[in-house]
Amino acid sequence: MKHLCTVILIALGYASSVSAAEELFENSRFEQGNLRNWTVEGKAFAAGPSEKGIVPTEDGTHSVEKKLGVNFKSRPELYRQPALSGCGSTWFANSYHPVILNRATGSLTSIPFVLRNDYLSFDLAGGRAACAGMLAVNLIAGDKIVRQALPKGEAFTRCTFDVRDLKGQEVQIRIDDQQVFHGGWIAAGSFAGVDQPAADWVIDGKNPIIRRVAENRQFTCDRRYLNLPATRGFPDDAVKLVVDGRVVQEICMSVCDEKDAQFWQFIDLALWKGKDATLTMDGWSDSPDPLAGVALDDHIRGLENLYDEKFRPQFHFTPIQGWNNDVNGAVYYDGEYHLFYQYDPSRSGNIGRNMHWGHAVSKDLFHWEHLPIALGVDPERGQNYSGSAVVDLNNDAGFQQGDEKTIIAFYTRRKPYTFLTYDFDVHSSDQCMAYSTDRGRTWTHVDKPLLPGIIARNRDPKVFYHEESGQWVMVIVGDRCYDFYRSKNLTDWKRQSHVATISDCPDIFRLFVDGNPAKPKWVLASGHGNCTIGDFDGEKFVPESQTRVVFGDFHAPQTFHNAPDDGKRRVQMSWLRFSPPGMPFRQMISLPIELTLRSSDDGGTCLFANPAREIENLRTENRAFPDAELSEGPMKLDGLSWELTDTEMTVELNGARQLQLSIWGQDATYDVQSATLALGKAKARVEPIDGALKLRLLVDRSVIVICANDGKALLMNGMLPDRNRPALECSATGGAAVVKNIKTHKLKSVW
C-alpha cells in the first residue's frame, strides 16, 4: 500500500509539471504523431516521430557488402538504437532511420513561434557524440543559434533553455544530426514553455554551448613561430593562416585559454617572414576569446632542450611534437628529398583521429629541415590519409606555373569525422590530389576525387610514371588485392589489373639487377614489409618470387620517387612504431635504407638492404679493437662511451651454437642451428657465409639497427639504453667463436 501511494504521488507530481507546461505551437510535442509544423531536410527524421527506439531488421548501411571489419553482423550493437524510455510525451523526433540506421543525416526545423515563457524545456537523448554540435537541439533567433543542447547519453535527459532575455522574440527549434558514423542518432521531444526550470541542466545566454567563429586576428610575421595554447582534447577547432588572400596553413586542434594550455601548438612562419597575415579559428573552444593567448615568438613555447631531449633520436627523423605514422609522398626534386608523413599535431596520440601531412626536406637524407604542415585538415573537406607524391616533369596535369615543376600529392581523403573509431567506409575512401607549384612549400587541394570510393578498403594510392608505356600508374588497396590503374594526365584513371594481397600501403619500383640497366626487375612492396620481385609492363604485374629483407616493428615503407641513382638503388623510409617515454613526440621514422637487387648463386635475384651510404658523412672518429676469442669469455667494449655509433665486425662461429649480443643492455641473439638473428620481436633468417656472420650495428639514442651479411637482412628496434652497461658485449655458447675486424665509428647528431 505504501508503494502504491508513492507511485500515485509521483504520478500526480508529474501530471502537475506537465499541466504547467505550455504548448509552444501546434504539435510542438509531436502529439499528433506526425511532423506537422516541422520541416525535414535530409534523410534523418524523415520517417516521422517515434514512440520507442527503432529496431533494425536489415543492414541498410550495407556494411557487410562493403566489407567493413565492424559490420552489422559482427557488431550489431553498434548499429542499434536502445529502447528509449523516459520521454515525457508519447511521441518524439528520432533521427535514427529504419533503413540506413544511424548513418542518416539531416535536420528537423520547427515553424517560427514567439517565446511566451521564461524557460523552454524538452527531453533529449543521443548516441556517441564525437564532435560538439553534430548532434544538437538548437534554438534559432534571427538565423543565429542562441542556445544549444548536446545529448548527454542514450537515456532521455530533461533539458531547459533559460530564455528570459529572449522572451517575446520569434524563434525556431532546429534538431541537427550531422553524425554519420556509429552512434549517429538524436531523439528529442516534449518541447514546451515553462515558468520554472524543469531540470538541473539549465542552459542560459552566458554559456549557450553554441558553435562560434572567433574574430580574425591580424599580425605581421616578424617572429619565427606563432604559438597557440592547446589541449589534448578533441581537435574540433579549425585554425587557418591566411597570407596574401590565400589559406597557407590549416590545423585542426583544441584551442584553449593560456592558463589551461596542456601544450603549445605552433605554426612555423619562416616562409612568410615580413608578410601581413590573418589567423582565423572556427570551432568549439570553451574560451571566451580563443585567440587571446596566441603569441609570436622566436621559439616554440613549452619545448625545452629541443632536439636534444633524453631519448630523441639524433640521426632518425622525428616530428618536433605530436604523433606520426605512415611515411607519405617520398619524392625528390631539384636537390631536395621531401619526406611527408601522417601527422597528428594535436598530440592526442590516436591513429586516425586528426590526420595531416607533416613535411620536411633534406639534401642528404639525414639533415632534415622541418617545414610547415603540407596538407592540413579542414572539417568540411575531411582528412588526408596515406598516399604518395610525384614530380610532374612534363606538366601532364597542367598545373605548372613558371619554371618550377609541379609536385603532386595523391592521398586518401576521409570525409569529416567518419574515421574516429571504426574502419573506412566506402564514402570516406576517395583517392584525391593536391599540388604545389613552389617546390612543395604551399599546397592546393583539388576538390573533386580522382577515384571515388568503390569499397571500404580503397586507400593509399601509390603513383609513378612508367617510361616504357608512357603512362602514369596508380596502385591502390582494393578487395584483398592491389588494383592497378593508368592515366595519361594524372586526372582520368582506368583500372587495368590487380594482384592478390591482404596488406595496405603499396609501393612499387624498378631496380636493375647488379646495377645493370639491361637487367630490370620490379619490386612490389607491402605495408607490412613483404616484397615481391617480378615484371611489370605498365598494365600488369607478374610475380616471380617473394622475399623480405627488413624486419622490425615498422610499417608503411615508401621509397623516393624521382631520386638520384634511380634503378641502381632505391632509398626507403618507414614508420618506426616506438615511442620513448616522456618525449613531446610519439613514434618516429626509420633510418633511410637503400635497396638493391643482386644476382644469387642459384640464378635468381636477391633483394639487399643497407643503411643509406650518406650516413658515412656523419662519422667523426674511429676506433679499432683487437680480435676477441669468445671461448675465453665475453668481449666487452667497456671504454666506449659514444652514444651514437656505427660498429662493424665479423664473427667466425667455429662450432658455436648461439651468439649473444648486448648493446647498452639491449639483447640480440643469433641461433646457429636455425640461422635466426633476433633483435627484440624482429627475427630474420641469415645463413653464415663461409662459417662467419658479418654484422653492422648502428646505435641511436633510442633505436638500434643491425645489418647482417652486407644487407641480406636488416633489423630495427626501439630501445631504452642502460648506460651502466657496456656499449657492446658479445659472447657465445659452445664452440670457439672469434670476433674479428672490430671497428666503431662515432656519429654526430644531425641536429
Q: Which residues are catalytic?
A: 326
Q: Across the strands, what pairs with 391?
A: 407
Q: Determine the Cα–Cα distance for residues 132 and 513; give it in Å rounded to an integer.
A: 56
The Cα–Cα gap between 521 and 468 comes to: 13
CB atoms within 10 A of CB 275: 13
Burial class (CB in 10 A: 0-12, 13-18, 19+), 515: middle
CB 659 within 8 A of CB 650: no
Q: Provide the 3-class DSSP secondary structure of residue 8.
A: helix
Among the listed residues 330, 389, 329, 300, the one whose alpha carbon sits nearest the alpha carbon of residue 585:
300
Residue 432, beta-bridge partner list: 411
How many Cα atoms occupy the beta-carbon half-sphere of 75 within 13 Å? 12
The owner of cell 639534401 is: 363
DSSP-assigned beta bridge partners for residue 629: 738
Residue 188 CA to residue 157 CA, distance in Å, equals: 9
Beta-bridge partner residues of 322: 585
Q: How far is CA 526 from CA 66, 327, 441, 499, 501, in A?
A: 22, 13, 29, 11, 8
Alpha helix (H) residue ranges in 21-119 = none
Amino acid identity for residue 549 in this structure = V
Q: Count CB neighbours of 207 within 10 A.
A: 11
Q: How far apart are CA 133 and CA 177, in angstroms?
A: 9
Alpha-carbon span 348 to 359, nearest angstrom: 19
Q: Which three cell numbers stand for residue 696?
A: 653492422
Which among 552, 575, 559 is positioned nearest to 698, based on CA atoms?
552
CA dist 177 and 163 (Å) reads 23
Q: Could you give the count of Cα atoms lying within 13 Å of 674 in the half-sphere of its Cβ? A: 10
Asked if 452 and 435 count as a contact pair (C-beta separation under 8 A), the reply is no
Q: Scan for cell 543559434, then name that residue.
A: 145
Helix (H, G, I), strand (E, B) or coil at 319: coil
* Residue whose grid cell is 607519405: 328
Q: Where are the beta strands (DSSP E) in 132-286?
A: 135-141, 144-149, 157-162, 170-177, 186-194, 201-203, 212-213, 217-220, 225-231, 237-243, 246-255, 263-268, 276-283
How far, CA to CA in Å, does 394 sit from each of 388, 407, 450, 470, 538? 18, 11, 19, 11, 18
Three-state secondary structure call for residue 39: strand
What's the full length of the chain, in residues? Answer: 751
- First-to-last alpha carbon distance for the chain, in angstroms, is 81
d(CA 453, CA 512): 35
Q: How many angstroms separate the CA atoms of 58 and 543, rounded?
A: 42
CA distance 437 to 749: 33
